[in-house]
């Protein structure tokens, strides 16, 4: 499901009419320009109650007390741009369980050419849709916080480049980016958009239609569909290429971890937005903040691994809550 984005002139179509047309799975909101309406696709956002007035007040107080805020974001921010995540098991639009998605393991990708070929085939098919998604109100809110001096550093587990598209600059992509590919042999980095054209030239007669959208530029293809596909290689040394993101079973680079710990040391509080923190790579920073007696707030749909460490936990949708905060 793609993000739908429209600009409508009030007087021709009213906001209430747009909401009626779109139904419950897409969110309408206005910008500072009085004649613009933007629509976010909530297809993959789990159903949840709205945050209470008291929740908003407490988060407002938490943020007012913070002078150097570190924010950690996860897939719960990007689902509001129409991207699926790994952990939500229900699609609100269809009201049925989604299949459990098994991610590619790092060692399998490195050692098994068949796994590598299949991963690149799915990535190639999924790239046009994945790369076209746009930032939503949560991404834009965090950019505004950065520009106003509230947000000291942003740490995202997402590889979708949406924070950067929105304008964030003080940030670390903890798990890398799907918008780059890296050679496993010489470490040469290739922009993913350029690589798409290279792969197309290598596979002029190959095509496949996916039957499911998956996270991280992935789609679902059958083994039969993958037959005949040629995986890309490094133009510098001929070695195997890998999307420049941390796969399951792979370690986050030590220099990246060290940088985030340094930014945490400089910060006075931590806000987690849209992450269950089930992966240790992000949880460790919340745990460290707790040990340093730094206030922690969590905004997420459903429980997280760090709920017991947070002084404030809000169960709600990021876009619904962050747009109600005044900085």
The owner of tokens 């530029």 is 217
Cross-strand partners of 154? 71, 171
The confidence score (pLDDT) of residue 84 equals 87
Task: Indicate whether 179 pLDDT > 80.
Answer: yes
Task: Indicate whether 13 pLDDT > 50.
Answer: no
Per the annotation, the verdict on 175 as an active-site residue is yes
The confidence score (pLDDT) of residue 38 equals 46
The confidence score (pLDDT) of residue 174 equals 98
pTM for the predicted model, two decimal places: 0.85
CA atoms 131, 132, 133, 139: torsion sign: positive
To the nearest whole number, what is the mean pLDDT of the chain? 86
Residue 162 has φ and ψ, to the nearest 5°, of: -70, -35
In this predicted structure, which of 11-15, 201-205, 251-255, 271-275 has the lowest mean pLDDT?
A: 11-15
Both structure tokens of 28: 């309408």
Task: Indicate whether 310 pLDDT > 60.
Answer: yes
Residue 46 has φ and ψ, to the nearest 5°, of: -60, 145
The confidence score (pLDDT) of residue 163 equals 98
The confidence score (pLDDT) of residue 260 equals 98
**Longest pairwise C-alpha distance within the chain:** 60
Q: What is the mean pLDDT of residues 246-259?
A: 97
Task: Indicate whether 15 pLDDT > 90.
Answer: no
The confidence score (pLDDT) of residue 88 equals 56
DSSP letter (8 states) at residue 84:
-
Q: Tell me the per-residue pLDDT of 105-131, one tens digit each, with 9 for 90 and over.
A: 999 999 999 999 999 999 999 999 999
Q: Please, which residues have CB within 8 angstroms of residue 154's CB and are 6 or more apart in sequence?
A: 70, 71, 73, 142, 146, 163, 168, 170, 171, 172
Q: Do 327 and 148 contact (CB within 8 A), yes or no?
A: yes
The torsion defined by the Cα of 4, 6, 10 and 15, in degrees rounded to 10, comes to 10
Cross-strand partners of 72? 155, 272
DSSP letter (8 states) at residue 81:
G
Distance (Å, rounded) from C-alpha 26 to C-alpha 45? Answer: 10
Task: Indicate whether 1 pLDDT > 80.
Answer: no
Task: Indicate whether 99 pLDDT > 70.
Answer: no
Closest CA to 33 of 10, 11, 59, 50: 10
- CATH homologous superfamily for the domain 53-323: TPP-binding domain (3.40.50.1220)
Q: Do 5 and 134 contact (CB within 8 A), yes or no?
A: yes
Task: Indicate whether 36 pLDDT > 60.
Answer: no
- First vs last C-alpha separation in the chain: 33
Q: Which residues are annotated as a binding site for Zn(2+)?
A: 183, 186, 234, 237
The confidence score (pLDDT) of residue 46 equals 84
Q: What is the mean pLDDT of residues 204-224?
A: 90
Distance (Å, rounded) from C-alpha 208 to C-alpha 191? Answer: 23
Q: What is the mean pLDDT of residues 41-64?
A: 90
Provide the pLDDT confidence category of residue 165 given band limits of 50, 70 and 90: very high
Q: Do 115 and 103 contact (CB within 8 A), yes or no?
A: no
Q: What DSSP letter does each residue of 147-168 carry, written as one string?
A: HTT-EEEEEE---S-HHHHHT-
Which of the following is catalytic: 43, 133, 152, 175? 175
Give the residue extent of every domain in the chain.
53-323
Closest CA to 323 of 60, 43, 73: 60
Q: What is the mean pLDDT of residues 239-249?
A: 97
Q: Do 74 and 160 contact (CB within 8 A), yes or no?
A: no
Provide the pLDDT confidence category of residue 50 given band limits of 50, 70 and 90: confident
The confidence score (pLDDT) of residue 92 equals 43
Q: Tell me the per-residue pLDDT of 268-303, one tens digit each, with 9 for 90 and over.
A: 999 999 999 999 999 999 999 999 999 999 999 999
Q: Do 156 and 174 contact (CB within 8 A), yes or no?
A: yes
Using a pLDDT cut of 70, give the percent of the chain over it.
83
The confidence score (pLDDT) of residue 75 equals 95
Provide the pLDDT confidence category of residue 90 given band limits of 50, 70 and 90: very low
* Residue 193 CA neighbour count, 13 Å, CB half: 4
Both structure tokens of 110: 């490195």
Task: Indicate whether 213 pLDDT > 90.
Answer: no
């Amino acid at each position: 499901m793609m993000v739908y984005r429209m600009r409508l002139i009030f007087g021709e179509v009213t906001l209430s009419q747009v909401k009626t047309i779109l139904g419950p799975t897409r969110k309408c909101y206005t910008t500072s320009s009085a004649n613009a309406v933007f629509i976010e696709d909530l297809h993959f956002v789990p159903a949840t109650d709205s945050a209470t007035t008291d929740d908003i007040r407490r988060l407002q107080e938490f943020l007012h007390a913070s002078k150097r805020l570190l924010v950690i974001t996860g897939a719960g921010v990007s689902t509001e741009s129409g991207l699926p995540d790994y952990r939500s098991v229900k699609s609100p639009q269809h009201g049925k369980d989604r299949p459990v998605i098994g991610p590619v393991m790092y060692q399998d990708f490195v050692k098994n050419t068949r796994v590598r070929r299949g991963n690149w085939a799915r990535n190639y098919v999924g790239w046009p849709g994945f790369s076209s998604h746009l930032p939503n109100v949560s991404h834009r809110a965090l950019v505004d916080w950065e520009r106003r001096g509230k947000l000291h550093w942003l740490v995202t587990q997402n590889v979708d480049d949406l924070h950067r598209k929105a304008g964030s600059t003080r940030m670390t992509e903890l798990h890398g980016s799907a918008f780059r590919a890296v050679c496993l042999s010489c470490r040469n980095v290739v922009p993913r958009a350029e690589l798409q054209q290279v792969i197309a030239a290598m596979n002029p007669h190959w095509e496949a239609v996916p039957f499911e959208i998956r996270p991280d530029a992935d789609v679902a293809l059958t083994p039969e569909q993958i037959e005949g596909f040629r995986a890309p290689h490094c133009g510098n040394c001929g070695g195997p290429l890998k999307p420049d993101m941390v796969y399951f079973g792979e370690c986050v680079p030590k220099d990246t971890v060290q940088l985030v710990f340094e930014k945490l040391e400089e910060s006075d509080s931590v806000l987690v937005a849209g992450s269950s923190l089930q992966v240790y790579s992000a949880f460790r920073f919340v745990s460290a903040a707790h040990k340093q007696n730094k206030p922690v707030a969590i905004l997420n749909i459903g429980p997280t691994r760090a709920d017991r460490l947070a002084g404030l936990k809000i169960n709600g949708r990021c876009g619904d809550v962050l747009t109600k905060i005044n900085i």
